[in-house]
Chains A and B, each alone.
Chain A
Amino acid sequence: MDIVNNQKMLTASRSEKNRVRLSQVRDRICEAGVLVLTAISALIIVFIFLFILNRAWEIFKVNGLGFILNKGFDQQLSNAYYASAESPQWIFGALGLLIGTLTTTLGALIIAIPMGLGTAIVITELAPSWMKTFLQSVVRLLASIPSIVFGLLGLMIIVPFILNNFVNVDMQIKYINFFQLTGHSMLAGVIVLSIMITPIIIALSVDAINAVPKKFKEASLALGLSHWRTIVKVILPAAKSGIIAGIILGTGRAIGEAIALSMVSGGVGNIPNPAHGPVFFLTPVLTLASAIVNKSEAMSTPTIEAALFACGVVLLITSTTLSLLTKIVEIIVKRGEGIE
């Protein structure tokens, strides 16, 4: 009887041990599994760099930095398209696209930063609380409207509006040697982009302002500063890093936006000339990102494909720089304020 009992206990403890060991092994395997998943997620960006650089390599070998310093992308594109298979055209210069990207992005930022900051101040400080929730859902909704809808509305409302109000036949005749004035223009692109990036700036600024400790505001009010001066002199400077992060994120979105811009901004890589006066803003432009969508139908030509991948490389380097910039700003601001 005793022996049987002992044996039972022995097997029980052995199976208990096995169970523990098994669960330890399972724990190890699961940990290794999620580690591998994490490593893959982090390595994707490296793969993206390698594959896209690989496809674009020929362009950079032939043109060097000339790819971003020379102009004439549209002409080169059609040359490459009609070139014979024996003598492919590798010469491309995307300066026009780069300028198009810069002008539309800067224009959008000039509109979106004051709009975004103003709305963020209203949401966090000025509005009564019932209005805050409403405003925040509106902003979230605006942020999640797909870019194709912005493109469609831009094409149906803003482009005809510009054509009817800012363009007349005299102007069209005067500039016919440079480009066609159809309403598809940098201005249309700037307006569409600014509506797209405003909610991003609002969302991040609201988070940053909400994260400012209450005591900052209380101390400032107790010292006799008005509410508005407290906002401008105390709260906004304290929320600086988050607001800058929002602006950088918005910049990234504006630079990378392809579909909406390819619909409204004209699709020709002109370089806007300030000497044209107000027509500067009505110049049809093409950005790096929208060039990839616009010309993707010609991708079967290897040279054009490589040129579009080269545009992708420029975009990739820009977006990576912006991401790193966010991190650097965060570190600098934290150091400057002495917060660990």
Chain B
Amino acid sequence: MFKSYSGQFLSWFASSLTIAACLGIIIYVFVMGYKSLNLNFIFTEPNPTQDESMVGGISTPIAGTLLLTAIGTLLAFPWALGTAIYLSEYAKKNIITQLFRLGIDVLAGVPTIVIAIFGVAIFSNPFFGFLSSKVEVEGVSKVFGKSFFVAGITMAIMILPFVIKTCEEAIKSVPDSYREGSLAMGASKWYTIIKIVIPSASNGIIAAIVLGMGRIIGDTAIVVLTLGATIRMTGLQPWWTPDNWISTLQNTGSTLTTYIYHMSPAGYGNMPEKAFGASLVLIVVIILLNLMTDFLVSNKKITKED
């Protein structure tokens, strides 16, 4: 009897600690970040300086996060959807399919820092020079290998296995009767997939994209190694004009996560209140994305019951 009570007590204790940790983190970041958060902070460019009045805000880190998320998701989504379609609709139960699945599962377990140095290894190759800046010294051309393009592609590789898995689950949850109905009407298999299966699975597929976005927004290791983590945009200025967009994407910048790293006591900026301001923005974005997935998943259940 005593054992049973102590076990239950420990379980409740563990779960209250977990909740306390989570709420504690969020409340602490809100309290600390609230002070430095205002419109000025969000809409001015940061400056690499120790002078508190000159240091500016987080406009380019926010833009950097948006750019990276856009590039990464745009690349990973069609790729992952195609793979998920193959695995759930076409793949036969044989050794090759097993190997495909194994490869994707192993990729899912690879730490992001390893994917980051993979990006460094590949994109410093002169062949990929067009993705980042090139330096010509004494006839030898060196590729910098750090840019929004490079980081975006590396991010796409990082989220790929997760998006594949979530898309596949969404596609598999579509009842077989939908497919049979469409095939019986004489539609081809591909037509059935595109017009019947994918639309029915759309909520789950959008949830997969949102999941991938969350991972890109929260990642630091890949940004530090493949984006260069300079605080400002280093392309032609002003970076936001349409004429300069290729230069912006070929050059380096920062995201919210590297801005936090830079402004934390571990980085060069060392202004924790600014770091907390940026963390607050980051956490709010993550909470919004979480609510979105919750909404999408609960919606899916309703359509399934119909």
Known A27-B190, A309-B117; 16 more pairs at CB < 8 Å: A31-B90, A38-B82, A38-B100, A44-B107, A126-B8, A141-B287, A144-B289, A146-B282, A150-B25, A153-B28, A156-B265, A232-B7, A258-B113, A258-B221, A312-B117, A322-B109
CA distance A262 to B276 in the complex (A): 18
Min CB–CB distance A243 → chain B (angstroms): 14
Inter-subunit contact B188/A252 (CB<8 Å): no
Inter-subunit contact B90/A35 (CB<8 Å): yes
Q: Is B283 an interface residue (CB 8 A)?
A: yes
Q: Is B260 an interface residue (CB 8 A)?
A: yes
Provide the residues of chain B in CB contact with A139, threshold 8 Å.
18, 22
CA distance A31 to B121 in the complex (A): 32
Number of interface residues of B (CB under 8 A): 85
Residue of B whose beta carbon sits closest to that of A322: B109
The 5 closest A-B pairs by CB, nearest first: A256-B111, A118-B14, A146-B218, A42-B103, A37-B82
Q: B112-129: which have CB < 8 Å to A? A: 112-118, 120-122
Provide the residues of chain A in CB contact with B91, threshold 8 Å.
38
Contact of B111 among A39, A122, A152, A289 (CB under 8 A): A289
Provide the residues of chain A in CB contact with B74, threshold 8 Å.
none
Inter-subunit contact A319/B111 (CB<8 Å): yes
In the complex with contacts A38-B83, A296-B225, A263-B117 CB distance below 8 A: no
Provide the residues of chain B in CB contact with A145, threshold 8 Å.
22, 25, 218, 283, 286
Min CB–CB distance A121 → chain B (angstroms): 5
Which of A47-55, A216-224, A270-278 binds B?
A: A47-55
Q: Is A298 an interface residue (CB 8 A)?
A: no
> Can you report 16 A-B residue pairs in the complex whose CB atoms are below 8 A from each other?
A38-B91, A40-B79, A42-B103, A44-B103, A45-B103, A45-B104, A45-B106, A122-B14, A126-B12, A141-B22, A141-B290, A142-B21, A144-B214, A256-B110, A258-B112, A293-B113
CA distance A193 to B303 in the complex (A): 39
Contact of A51 among B15, B122, B189 (CB under 8 A): B122
Provide the residues of chain A in CB contact with B299, threshold 8 Å.
none
Inter-subunit contact A23/B191 (CB<8 Å): yes
CA distance A138 to B22 in the complex (A): 7
Provide the residues of chain B in CB contact with A327, threshold 8 Å.
102, 105
Inter-subunit contact B86/A148 (CB<8 Å): no
Provide the residues of chain B in CB contact with A8, threshold 8 Å.
none
Q: Is B209 an interface residue (CB 8 A)?
A: no
Contact of A149 among B25, B113, B116 (CB under 8 A): B25
Majority SS of interface residues in chain B? helix
Q: Is A323 an interface residue (CB 8 A)?
A: yes
Residue of B whose beta carbon sits closest to that of A323: B109
Min CB–CB distance B31 → chain A (angstroms): 12
Q: Is A17 an interface residue (CB 8 A)?
A: no
Q: Is B275 an interface residue (CB 8 A)?
A: yes
Inter-subunit contact A152/B220 (CB<8 Å): no
Provide the residues of chain B in CB contact with A257, threshold 8 Å.
111
Min CB–CB distance B168 → chain A (angstroms): 11
Provide the residues of chain B in CB contact with A35, threshold 8 Å.
86, 90
Interface 1/0 per residue, A17-31 and B, CB below 8 Å: 000000110110011
Min CB–CB distance B88 → chain A (angstroms): 10
Provide the residues of chain A in CB contact with B264, threshold 8 Å.
151-152, 155-156, 263
Residue among B102, B105, B121, B289 facing the most chain A CB atoms (10 A cut-off): B121
Interface 1/0 per residue, A89-119 and B, CB below 8 Å: 0000000000000000000000000111111
Residue among A26, A141, A146 facing the most chain B CB atoms (10 A cut-off): A146
CA distance A52 to B119 in the complex (A): 10
Q: Is B39 an interface residue (CB 8 A)?
A: no
Provide the residues of chain B in CB contact with A41, threshold 8 Å.
79-80, 83, 100, 103-104, 107, 160-161, 164
CA distance A326 to B29 in the complex (A): 36
Contact of B108 among A27, A228, A323 (CB under 8 A): A323
Inter-subunit contact B105/A323 (CB<8 Å): yes
Q: Is B54 an interface residue (CB 8 A)?
A: no
Inter-subunit contact A135/B19 (CB<8 Å): yes
Inter-subunit contact B225/A198 (CB<8 Å): no
In the complex with contacts A52-B121, A126-B11, A149-B282, A292-B83 CB distance below 8 A: no
In the complex with contacts A122-B11, A229-B4, A27-B188 CB distance below 8 A: yes
Inter-subunit contact B221/A293 (CB<8 Å): yes
Inter-subunit contact B265/A38 (CB<8 Å): no
Min CB–CB distance B11 → chain A (angstroms): 4
Inter-subunit contact A152/B279 (CB<8 Å): yes
Residue of B whose beta carbon sits closest to that of A199: B18
Q: B43-84: which have CB < 8 Å to A? A: 79-80, 82-83
Interface 1/0 per residue, B261-297 and A, CB below 8 Å: 1001110000010011001001100110110001000
